[in-house]
Homo-oligomer: A and B are copies of this chain.
Amino acid sequence: MTWVTGADGSAYGVTNLPYGVFAHDGRDPRIGVRIGDFVLDLTGAEAAGLVLAAGAFDRPTLNDFMALGRPQWTAVRQRVTELLTDTAHRAAVEPLLVPLADVRLLLPFAVADYVDFYSSEHHASNVGQIFRPGQPPLLPNWKHLPIGYHGRAGTVVVSGTPVVRPAGQRPGPDGPTYGPSARLDIEAEVGFVVGVPSPLGARVSVDDFADHVFGVVLVNDWSARDIQAWEYQPLGPFLGKSFATSVSAWVTPLDALADAFLPAPEQDPEVAAYLRDVPHLGLDLRLAVEWNGERVSEPPFRTMYWTPAQQLAHLTVNGASLRTGDLYASGTVSGPERGQVGSFLELTWGGAEPVKLGAGETRTFLEDGDTVTVTATAPGPDGTTIALGEVTGTIQPAR
């Protein structure tokens, strides 16, 4: 129970408490935590001595706080909970609550490296069937390791940032043509944000996931399928992805997701020793994709084949170091049903089966002016339901 008006019973109650960075009233960016429809100004709270975080809240990003490590993350969360539930603190804390409607939310962390995995069996199989009909839907390596690649960290943008339709080379019957992408798509994903770094040459064990990962964001990995199709052999996606990747403004701490962990799908064949996580846990995050306000899909994250702990162990098994602010995304989240897919490529089966949106409109891929919003909920502590911060974006015409 919190004393903050309207927060109890909402998806942003005191069992949630995601972190973000906000601008307000013309001042420098500040760090905050969301409670109901307010932001608690943690920069102000630390300055007032209400919270101790080694000065990490006097920053324009969460990075310094994320670098502090799990004991500090937990201690701060406990203290913030105390401030928001014990009415003895109300007089001191209430002046630090800013209405959400009055703030502008910024990119919550400086992205170090961005890695994108490909860990949904349903998504990988769908893509295989669409692009390689008649062939086995999964490539031979897929069940042996979490396939992934590096994306462009510098074009990770916060939810709400407009997305300019990319131009580039697309395949054509008489060779490539140049122009705006005609197959602009989304990928609804979940991203994991690294707080605690690891040294070069060392590995991070599957058991150490919670020591390194601070929290979770929603991700929309915008994808130009035509550009990607022409460029991706043999070195993978490049300009088909690098124009923009949107993340939610709120980072949900792992502590808020303690009740969302559940057994992940069984893996067969058995995976290499460095990928064996015991227990083998996924997350019960229930995503929803809205296309111009209409809910078109509900991707279930619990169906992901590879777990975030396995992804982290794989990412570092070659001795690659981690930095504070590293972001690794799950890959498109798709369940077994058509209404559970995380991309429009799958929803329209390669563009062959348009979907109806309200008011008699149909779509295959994104048109200029379209807005896509990805949301998610999860079972929170104490029987509550918590929301992850949404990730939304609107397509602007090519320049």
Contact = CB atoms under 8 A, between A and B. Distances in A.
A390 to B, nearest CB: 21
A169 to B, nearest CB: 6
A253 to B, nearest CB: 23
Given A144-B169, A155-B320, A320-B152, A239 B176 contact: no
Contacts of A202: 399
B235 A147 contact: yes
A321 interface: yes
Given A139-B234, A232-B234, A236-B236, A150 B242 contact: yes
A42 interface: no
A352 to B, nearest CB: 21
B150 A319 contact: no
B178 A272 contact: yes
A244 interface: yes
Contacts of A242: 150, 318, 320
A380 interface: no
Query: What secondary structure prevails in chain A residues at the interface with B?
Result: loop
A236 B243 contact: no
Interface stretch (A91-99, A160-168, A297-305): A160-168
B236 A176 contact: no
Contact of A164 (B168, B201, B235, B272): B201
Contact of A149 (B150, B178, B201, B230): B150
A319 B317 CA distance: 33
A315 B238 CA distance: 9
A145 interface: yes
B235 A149 contact: yes
